[in-house]
Amino acid sequence: MQNVTNVLVNATSDQSVSVIIKVCVVVPLFCIFFFCIVIILHIFASHRQFLDTSRYILFASMLISDTLHVMFSVLLFLLVIAQVNFALGLCFPLLFISAATFKNTPFILATMSLERYVAIFYPLQCPAAWCSDRIWIIILVLWLLSCMFPIIEYSIGQHYPAVDAFSIPVRCYATFVNSYPIQALFRTAVNVLCFAVVAIIIIFTYVRILLETRKMRQDNVSVSKATHTVLLHGFQLLLCMLAFTSPITEVLMVLRADWPPDEIAFFNYFCFTLIPRFLSPLIYGFRDQSLRSHIGKTFLCCLNKVECSPRGQMQENVFPS
């Protein structure tokens, strides 16, 4: 009996250490990511020239989408890892926002590639929908399209009228709430279709711009930049699609490694969901020359304020007014 008690105590201790390590890894990274995103969005809000350019407006929309996805994804992760059960009526909005923002980012990447395509091929007669004062309509359509799929997925499941969604506690993760096979099939089909369409758009725009680079000699610099931008969008899409590799890696890890299922799920979540979402907007933001210069100045200003504030307080204490 004593041996059984010792085994249970050791298992509980190991599980607690594992939970602490996971939280200490995820939360600081999220704080760094959130701080960088706030800096970039502050730059957008402070400089009018960014809000007058369609490309930067789309990028700001992607930043907001990625931030919401990471925020609610981390919140769901913390709730699951803490084994918190709460009402389905409160769980569904969290899953809805997480799923909608997951699909919205690839849509914005495809739109950004099309924006570069329009800017290269129709520089003087740009369609009205792609102007900075009309691009918000396209962004709204993308958000509505992204929100439509989670609603349909939840609607096609079997629901029982006698069950009170606000009183029965559940563990809040997608495979439990949307657990019916038809919902899994619909989710897989929508993900594959959406990402395939986005990939085709990005490849098409990249090839067309690449071919145009060889024809245009008077503005090779701008066309080359557009080519690199579309290629970067393809890389960002590849990062987003890494989330689909988690079922394959889970099977391989179960066959090859003696890891508990919770550890495998966390590894896939961290490597194939969080890290790509952390890197995708930051790569684009720090690559852009205009944004990079403003980001450097903003960081220097923040550091100077932190360094100068204690000195200012000391001077006020030494030389009171």
Q: Domain range for residue 241? A: 2-294
Q: What is the mean pLDDT of the chain?
A: 76
Q: What is the pLDDT of residue 169?
A: 77
Encoded tokens for 135: 């691009």
Q: What is the pLDDT of residue 1?
A: 42
Residue 216 in this model has a pLDDT that exceeds 90: no
| Torsion angles phi and psi, residue 310, rounded to 5 | -65, -35
> For tokens 């000195």, what's the residue?
311
* All residues at 6 or more sequence positions from 36 whose CB lies less than 8 Å from its CB, including other chains: 282, 285
Q: What is the pLDDT of residue 259?
A: 72
Q: Is residue 321 included in any domain, yes or no?
A: no
Q: Is residue 319 included in any domain, yes or no?
A: no
Q: Is residue 164 included in any domain, yes or no?
A: yes
Encoded tokens for 229: 């931008």
**DSSP assignment string, 13-28:** HHHHHHHHHHHHHHHH
| Selected residue with higher pLDDT from 44 and 176 | 44
Q: Is residue 179 included in any domain, yes or no?
A: yes
Q: What is the pLDDT of residue 68?
A: 92
Q: How many domains does the chain have?
A: 1
| Selected residue with higher pLDDT from 160 and 147 | 147
CATH code of the domain containing 53 = 1.20.1070.10
What is the distance between the alpha carbons of residues 228 and 235, in angstroms, rounded to a whole number? 10
Encoded tokens for 103: 């699909």
CB 116 within 8 A of CB 201: no
Q: Is residue 116 included in any domain, yes or no?
A: yes
Q: Which of 110-119, 159-168, 193-202, 227-236 has the lowest mean pLDDT?
A: 159-168
Q: Is residue 106 included in any domain, yes or no?
A: yes
CB 88 within 8 A of CB 165: yes
Length of the chain in terms of residues written: 321
Amino acid letter for position 312: G
pTM of the full predicted structure? 0.81
DSSP-H helix ranges across 122-161 = 135-155
CA dihedral of 74, 75, 78, 81, whole degrees rounded to 10 = -90
Q: Is residue 254 included in any domain, yes or no?
A: yes
